[in-house]
Amino acid sequence: MSSLPLNPHIAALPPYNAGMNIAMARALSGRNDIARLASNENPDGCSPAVMAVLASSSFEPWRYADPACTALRAALGERLTVDPSLIVVGNGSEEMIAAVSRAVLVPGASVVTTVPSFGLHEIEPLAVGANVVKIAMTPEMGFDLAALEKVIAAGPRVVFISSPWNPVGPGLDRSSLQRLIGAVRPGTLLVLDEAYFEFADPGAPDGIEILRDSSIDYVVLRTFSKAYGLAGLRVGYAVCSDLELARVIAVAKTPFNVNAAAQTAAVAALADADWMTASVARIRAERIRTAAALAGLGLQVARSQTNFLFFDGKGDSSSLAAGLLKQGIVVKAWREAGYERFLRVTIGSPADNDRLIAALQELVGQ
Ligand SMILES: *Cc1c(COP(=O)(O)O)cnc(C)c1O
């Protein structure tokens, strides 16, 4: 090892626990037909309008992309009835988690999130030297509102909450969200990560609408990766409570962060809302069916407002995941301390979900 001093905050970071790639899954399982249920991708693919625009002359790979994402922000502003100047577009919403952390946090600042957690809600604050406090889910696999309220009221610099919650699944209802907003004091930024917003049941709260009427500092994160099926293109965005916050988040990102294909595709995907809502309806129906089947096997499954299910595998999750992989099914075994019995499985195509149900019946069914 060289004697070069490294940034200690970065050198100490845990790796991001990404889903297994398909070549590795094929090599380990000896099967070609892999059910990819580890990364919350859309089993329906994406809108054909996206494929069409990327094959058309309006996509110009030889030009630098617009660093301000002007067309996409205008389209989003119209769709969300938000001033486009309050929107910052990222290379996936994950880049916005990093940009918010760089924009707001300094070494020693305190951050609150939940556990089990979306890895980057912890990794990005740690990268800038912040301290992260994690509030555990309840035994019923829900948000611990009282505990969250208490730590939020203590005045951390940033609160990262995903609702609907990755990896667990439930979403905050309107009154619970209002309760958490009510606990936020001046000097605290609430980051509400709504990556799974589109999958929530009708009547679920819209964070942008609710926060707009509040007086707190906030960022709402959304993404094209899940419901719109553009995970490989990397587009997500932040809706900010004020212009100065948006400006500082925008300068915290790299200038040409969202490439030309991604910007063109996102505009086309947003325009084809019918494709997205039809896909989400199919995935929701499959979520309900699959959750009932897993519960029927005697598994404790969290309520889900997302495109995945989180459940207690009743033993070490890695060995159950290895058993599933033998059958060509890739899932995510949770590795956070205290949650090693849990697994997260993406809702896939009906055939993939059937494979998962049959395999679980064989491996853990009563
Ligand atoms: C998937 C996900 C994201 C990030 O998605 P991008 O692909 O980077 O847009 C952000 N937050 C949560 C909670 C997610 O599950």
- Tell which residue, 224, 227, 251, 247, has the closest CA to residue 237: 224
pLDDT digits (tens, 9 = 90+) for 131-167: 999 999 999 999 999 999 999 999 999 999 999 999 9
Nearest 5°: phi and psi at 250?
A: -65, -40
Which of 89, 117, 193, 344 most suits a substitution to test ligand 1, by most atoms within 8 Å of the C-beta? 193
The distance between the two most distant Cα atoms of the chain, rounded to a whole number of Å, is 59
pLDDT digits (tens, 9 = 90+) for 229-240: 999 999 999 999
CA–centroid distance, 95 to ligand 1, in Å, is 9
CA distance 60 to 258: 14
What's the pLDDT at 14?
85
- What length does the chain have? 366
The mean per-residue pLDDT over the stretch 84-109 comes to: 98
- Tell which residue, 319, 361, 333, has the closest CA to residue 37: 333
CA distance 344 to 159: 23
- Tell me the CATH architecture of domain 48-272: 3-Layer(aba) Sandwich (3.40)
- Per-residue b/e over 294-328, b at no fewer than 16 CB within 10 Å? beebebbbbbbbbbbbbbbbeeebeebbebbbebb
Which ligand 1 atom lies nearest to the CA of residue 40? 1
CA–centroid distance, 258 to ligand 1, in Å, is 15
Tokens (6 digits) for 163: 């609702």
Tokens (6 digits) for 178: 């209002």
What's the pLDDT at 17?
74
Which of 17, 89, 94 most suits a substitution to test ligand 1, by most atoms within 8 Å of the C-beta? 94
Q: Count of alpha carbons within 13 Å of 32, Cβ hemisphere only?
A: 0
| CATH 3.90.1150.10 for domain 8-46+274-364 | yes
Which ligand 1 atom lies nearest to the CA of residue 97? 10
CA distance 166 to 78: 28
Domain boundaries, the chain: 8-46+274-364, 48-272
Which ligand 1 atom lies nearest to the CA of residue 96? 8
Which ligand 1 atom lies nearest to the CA of residue 94? 8
Q: Whose CA is nearest to atom 11 of ligand 1?
A: 195
Pocket of ligand 1 (CB under 6 A): 40, 92-94, 118, 162, 166, 193, 195, 223, 225, 231, 236
Where on the phi/psi map is residue 331: left (φ > 0), alpha (ψ -120 to 50), or beta?
beta
The mean per-residue pLDDT over the stretch 67-84 comes to: 98
Confidence of residue 16 (pLDDT cuts 50, 70, 90): confident
Which of 93, 115, 332 most suits a substitution to test ligand 1, by most atoms within 8 Å of the C-beta? 93
pLDDT > 90: percent of the chain: 96
Whether 19 shows a pLDDT value over 80: the answer reads no
What's the pLDDT at 338?
95
What's the pLDDT at 165?
98
CA–centroid distance, 363 to ligand 1, in Å, is 30
Average pLDDT in the chain = 96
Whether 178 shows a pLDDT value over 90: the answer reads yes
Contact 83, 281 (CB under 8 A): no
Residue of higher predicted confidence among 19 and 358: 358
CA–centroid distance, 92 to ligand 1, in Å, is 7
CB atoms within 10 A of CB 201: 11
The mean per-residue pLDDT over the stretch 78-89 comes to: 98
CA distance 136 to 121: 14
What's the pLDDT at 149?
98
Q: Whose CA is nearest to atom 14 of ligand 1?
A: 195
pLDDT digits (tens, 9 = 90+) for 291-334: 999 999 999 999 999 999 999 999 999 999 999 999 999 999 99
What's the pLDDT at 18?
76
What's the pLDDT at 366?
65
> Residue 31, exposed/middle/buried by CB under 10 A (0-12, 13-18, 19+)?
middle
